[in-house]
């Protein structure tokens, strides 16, 4: 499975794309590496099933959600729908997120019939109460112009290139800097950290399991998102990923959020 924003990101970061060989890794430039990672997120239509477990700060109760994600991601446009399948009392809750260029929009659906739009300011709010924001799901920092290799560090016994990404002019982001620790042999991000303009890290995303997807490419299957300001954490555990899924345009509209259904082939 994958998570967008880094998501990845994710989220979900849904990841797919070009693989890199061990021989390529030493000579790959920052822009080449970022370009390959960006291509992983622009994987057209796909369907994801995952479990999200939110662990708030001590003294508050953790909770879990089963989610399905429908997405269409290209170089110019991203459309993502997150829908809650379980537990029963939250089934049908849904979020639609869209981005074209640097313009974002979204809608939230609360059963039985409440649909509300998301303003630009609300894109910083939490997705289903997790440590991911709506903006995280859409953001592809590997597509930013300012990319730099800033070192080599070991993560989980794997030597990683550290890629530093900055939004630059004309880019809106909650992060002034994003650093990604990349396993260049498998072309998989093993850690991502986002920093405020002050230089303080406020979010860390760690890959806890790497697996092959439905077209035999390595990607983060399980992720943990740490909110470094509150101490809370969100775990994402992927169970299904399918590419080449056919969707009707209606599924990526506010009215389409009311229809809780998996693709016909599922």
- The predicted model gives 145-168 an average pLDDT of 96
The residues with which 237 forms a beta bridge, in sequence order, are 51, 222
CATH topology for 9-258 is outer membrane lipoprotein receptor (LolB), chain A (2.50.20)
Paired with 50 in beta bridges are 67, 238
Alpha-carbon distance of 161 to 181, in angstroms, equals 6
- 138 HSE (CA, 13 A, CB side): 29
pLDDT per residue as tens digits for the range 35-88: 999 998 888 899 999 999 999 886 678 999 999 999 999 988 999 999 999 999
The answer on pLDDT for 107 being more than 50 is: yes
Long-range contacts of 232-235 (CB under 8 A, 24+ apart): 232/54, 232/55, 232/56, 232/57, 232/131, 233/54, 233/55, 233/131, 234/52, 234/53, 234/54, 234/55, 234/130, 234/131, 234/132, 235/51, 235/52, 235/53, 235/55, 235/208
- Please tell me the predicted confidence (pLDDT) of residue 121: 87
- CA dist 115 and 112 (Å) reads 9
Report the 3 state secondary structure along 203-244: EEEEEEEEEECCCCCEEEEEEEEEECCCCCEEEEEEEEEEEC
Residue 178, Cβ density class (10 Å: 0-12 exposed, 13-18 middle, ≥19 buried): buried
* Sequence-ordered alpha helix ranges (H) in the chain: 30-41, 134-138
Q: What is the C-alpha to C-alpha distance for residues 134 and 33, in angstroms, rounded to an integer?
A: 26
Mean of pLDDT values over 110-129: 94
Binned at pLDDT 50, 70 and 90, residue 260 comes out as very high
pTM for the predicted model, two decimal places: 0.87
Instruction: State the DSSP code for 128.
Output: T
Cα separation, 108 vs 201, in Å, equals 29
Domain ranges of the chain: 9-258
């Amino acid at each position: 499975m994958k998570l967008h924003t880094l998501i990845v990101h994710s989220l979900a970061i849904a990841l797919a794309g070009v693989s890199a060989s061990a021989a390529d890794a030493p000579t790959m430039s920052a822009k080449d590496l970022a370009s390959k990672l960006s291509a992983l997120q622009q994987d057209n239509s796909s369907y994801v099933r995952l479990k999200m477990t939110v662990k708030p700060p001590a003294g508050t109760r953790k909770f879990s959600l089963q989610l399905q994600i429908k997405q269409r991601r290209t170089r110019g446009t991203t459309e993502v729908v997150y829908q809650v399948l379980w537990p029963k009392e939250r089934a049908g809750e849904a979020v639609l997120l869209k981005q074209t260029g640097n313009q974002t929009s979204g809608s939230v659906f609360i059963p039985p019939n409440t649909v509300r739009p998301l303003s630009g300011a609300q894109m910083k709010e939490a997705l289903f109460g997790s440590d991911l924001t709506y903006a995280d799901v859409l953001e592809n920092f590997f597509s930013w112009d300012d990319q730099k290799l800033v070192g080599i560090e070991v993560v989980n016994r794997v030597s990683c290139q550290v890629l530093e990404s900055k939004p630059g002019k004309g880019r809106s982001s909650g992060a002034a800097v994003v650093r990604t620790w990349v396993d260049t042999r498998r072309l998989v991000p093993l850690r991502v950290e986002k920093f405020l303009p002050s230089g303080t890290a406020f979010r860390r995303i760690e890959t806890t399991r790497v697996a092959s997807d439905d077209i035999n490419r390595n990607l983060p299957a399980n992720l943990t998102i740490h909110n470094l300001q509150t101490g809370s954490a969100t775990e994402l555990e992927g169970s299904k990923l399918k590419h080449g899924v056919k969707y009707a345009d209606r599924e990526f509209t506010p009215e389409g959020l009311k229809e809780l259904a998996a693709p016909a082939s599922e």
